[in-house]
Structure 1
Amino acid sequence: MRKIKVLFVCMGNICRSPTAEGVFNTLLMTRRLTDAFEVDSAGTHAYHVGDAPDLRSQKAARGRGVELKHLKARKVTQNDFEVFDYVLAMDEENQAILSENCPDKFQHKVRLFLEYAPHLKQREVPDPYYGGAYGFERVLDMVEAASEGFIEALQREGIIS
């Protein structure tokens, strides 16, 4: 069975996208869907390549049973657009950067992650980097909701059972 490949993307790949990767992987484990997916995260900028996620992201995630310390930041590559089935941006700015760099034949893969959590009535996962602990908790809330919504959408579409 071919794995469904999902890439979460923010700007520096140290807060929002690794949080999404960790939360989504944890959800896959609880639902026993790990074997059906390949999950990664990346940034549109190379500010933090090789760095672990922000310590505040790690702490907030750990409080919910999600471990991020093993992740390392990387920058999105051209190959990512071909390899991944879903390239999910955390905000419109990063979605625009992705769309600008994505070949036309793969544009359908680039989406906003919060499209899968319409009940939140927000389009973007806000960057918590310059704020306090509340921002990291809010990111977790949003990412958890979108992760659940993404799985449900894939089930509705018959991509997974």
Structure 2
Amino acid sequence: MKRVLFVCLGNICRSPMAEAVFRNLVEQEGLATQIKVDSAGTGDWHLGKPPHAGTRRLLDNRGIGYDGMKARQVSTDDYEQFDYIICMDSQNEQDVKKWLPKQQRIQATTMKFMDLLPERGFTDVPDPYYTDNFDEVYELVESGCKRLLLKVKSELAA
């Protein structure tokens, strides 16, 4: 079993989009029993709220489900429960690492999402909450999630 957590600031735009896209890819590959997927935010402004309307619109247009997804905040338990903590931007990564006890850093691989797509030249996934460019974010998320799935599948096969 591999466990993946996507993290952004408020857990309503980027990380739930990544969660839904990655979960959809995992299900298409028949790996839902082997790969657990979730998302969380570093902030607490949107706790309990569904994904942003822009994220929902894009997912609806592509037939990708997000039923039951509600914003939550990263917790220290996440560091023990997930193999990968994938942060959507540099600030999210800094916050996650600041909160992560040193002994737990060994258990979870923490990385930036754009580390999956180094050829793109972006350090961070732009936040559509501020840019309103959900299409750009979706394209990055879809490409990165496909690459992540290849990585996770190879680890499962090893």
Partner residue of 1:102?
100
Q: How far off is 1:69 after superposition? A: 4.4
Partner residue of 1:6?
4
Divergent runs of 4+, >3 A: none
DSSP 3-state at the match of 1:129: helix
| Matched-pair contact (CA < 8 Å) for 1:58–1:69 | no
RMSD, matched Cα: 1.5
Q: Which amino acid aligns with 1:40?
A: D
Q: Which of residues 58, 82, 85 in structure 2 aligns to 1:84?
A: 82
**How many equivalent pairs are there?**
156
Alpha-carbon distance between aligned partners in 1 of 2:128 and 2:41, rounded to the nearest angstrom = 15
Partner residue of 1:116?
116
Q: Deviations over 1:31-53 (max 9, x none)?
A: 11111111110000100000001
Q: Deviations over 1:86-120 (max 9, x none)?
A: 11000000000000000113335211112112232
Q: Deviations over 1:3-24 (max 9, x none)?
A: 2111100000000000000000
What 5-or-longer segments of structure 1 have no aligned partner? none
TM-score normalised by structure 2 residue count: 0.92
Alpha-carbon distance between aligned partners in 2 of 1:117 and 1:107, rounded to the nearest angstrom = 23
| Matched-pair contact (CA < 8 Å) for 1:6–1:84 | yes
Report percent identity of matched pairs: 35
What 5-or-longer segments of structure 2 have no aligned partner? none
Alpha-carbon distance between aligned partners in 1 of 2:16 and 2:91, rounded to the nearest angstrom = 18
Alpha-carbon distance between aligned partners in 2 of 1:86 and 1:112, rounded to the nearest angstrom = 10
Q: Which of residues 54, 57, 63 in structure 2 aligns to 1:56?
A: 54
Partner residue of 1:131?
131
Partner residue of 1:41?
39
Deviates more, 1:97-106 or 1:62-71: 62-71
Alpha-carbon distance between aligned partners in 1 of 2:72 and 2:95, rounded to the nearest angstrom = 16
| Matched-pair contact (CA < 8 Å) for 1:53–1:69 | no
TM-score normalised by structure 1 residue count: 0.90
Alpha-carbon distance between aligned partners in 1 of 2:37 and 2:120, rounded to the nearest angstrom = 24
Alpha-carbon distance between aligned partners in 2 of 1:43 and 1:144, rounded to the nearest angstrom = 19
